[in-house]
Amino acid sequence: MTITLNSVIKKLLLLFLIIAGLYFGKVFLMPLCFGAILATLFLPLSNWLQHRKIPKFIAVVLCLLTIILIIGGLLTLFGWKISGLVKDVELLKQRAIDTGIQLQTYIFNRFGVSAEEQLQILKKEQPSYANLMQSMAGSVSSFFGNLILVYIYFIFLLYYRNHIKQFLLKLSTEKNKSEMEKIIQTTTKVSQQYLLGLFKMIACLWIMYGIGFSILGVKDAIFFAILCGFLEIVPYVGNIIGTVLTVFVAALHGANIEMLGGIVVVYGIVQTIQGWLLEPIILGPQVKINPLFTIFALVIGQLIWGVSGIVLAIPLTAILKIIFDHIEPLKPYGFLVGEIEPQKTEQGLMKKIKGFLKINV
C-alpha cells in the first residue's frame, strides 16, 4: 500500500511540475508549439519538393512562403471584413443605441434602476480609453512578435528534422532503437493525417455554411461561413461563437426572425453532418478525443496559455494520444483520452460510405 501511495504521489508531483513548467515557460513554448505543429503539417510538402531535386533549404523557404500566403490571406480577409463593418458604423451605432434604450427601459421596469443610475454604474466599470488603447497596442505587438517567432521555429524545425530524429534515436538504447524509429515514423504520419484531416473538415464546413447562409440571404455569407468553419479549431465552443456572431451581426443589419432562426437551423444541420459523417470518415477514431477530455484540454489550455492555449489544446492532446497509443506503458492513457470505439453496425456503415465515396470520386 505504501509503495502504491508513493507512486501516486510521485505521478501527481510530476504532473504539477509539468503544468507549472508550461505556465511559466509559455512565452517560449507557445510559439515553439505553433511552429512544431505547422512544421509537421508541411513536412509532406517539403519531402515532395526535395524528391523533385529541389535543395532542402529552398524547399523549406517555399513551405514558409506558402504558410505566409495562407496566414496573410486570412488576416487580409478578416481585416477587409472589419473595415467593411467600420463603414457601416453609423447604422450599427444607431441600432446599438436603440437596443441600449430598450434594455435600459427593461431594467427600469424590472428592477427600478433609473437610466442615470445605470450610466453611473457603467462609468465605474468601463475601462479608460487610454488603458484600452494601451492594451490593444500591447496585444497587437505581442501577436506579430510571436508570429515572427513561429516562422523562425517553423524554418529551423523543418530544416533540422533529421537531426532531431537522430537525437531521439540516440536517447534510446541500442535494443530499443528500432522501436523508437517506428514510434517516430508512426506518430509523425498519424499527426499529419490528423492535421490534414482537420483542415479538410474545415474546408467542408466552409462549403456547407456558405451554401446555407447564401440560401438564407445572410449579408457577407461567405465571410461568416469561413469564420464558423475556421473556429472549428476550437471544438464545440468555436462553432457556437461563430454562429452567435453571425446571428448578432445579421440582427444588427435588420434580419428578420425567420433568417435568424434559419442561421441556427443551418448550424444544427452542419453540426449533425459533421459529427455523424465528416469526423468518422476524415479524422477516424484513432485520433479523436472524447468530449470529456476535450473540455478538460480546453479549460486547462485556457488556464495555462490563454487564447493560444485554447487553439493549441486539441492538436497537442491529439498528438499526445497518438504517442500514448504507440508506447506500451502509456496505452491506458491513450485509451482513456480517446473516443469510444463505434459499434460493429456503425463500423460497417462507415465502410460502406467510404467505399461509395471512393467509387464516385
Residue 105 lies in a domain: yes
Residue 134 lies in a domain: yes
* Cβ-contact 316, 33 below 8 angstroms: yes
pLDDT at res. 324: 84
Residue 9 lies in a domain: no
Alpha-helix runs per DSSP H in 274-343: 291-325, 331-337
Amino acid at 252: L
Domain that includes residue 129, residue range: 28-159
Residue 98 lies in a domain: yes
Which is nearest to 201 in space by CA: 232, 158, 167, 166?
Answer: 232
Residue 122 lies in a domain: yes
pLDDT at res. 220: 80
Residue 201 lies in a domain: no
Amino acid at 48: W
pLDDT at res. 265: 92
Residue 71 lies in a domain: yes
Within 8 A by CB and 6+ apart from 232, the residues are 198, 201, 202, 205, 238, 239
Report pTM. 0.70
pLDDT at res. 156: 92
If the chain, 361 residues long, is cut into consecutive pieces of 10 residues, what is the mean pLDDT of each piece?
65 83 87 88 88 91 90 77 62 64 65 60 52 55 81 91 88 79 78 79 89 88 85 76 84 81 90 80 68 84 84 82 81 82 52 52 40
Residue 101 lies in a domain: yes
pLDDT at res. 132: 45
Domain count across the chain: 1
pLDDT at res. 345: 46
HEC assignment per residue over 70-90: HHHHHHHHHHHHHHHHHHCHH
CA 81 from centroid of its chain's CA atoms: 21
pLDDT at res. 260: 86
| φ/ψ of residue 235, rounded to 5 | -60, 150
Burial (Cβ within 10 Å: 0-12, 13-18, ≥19) of residue 234: buried
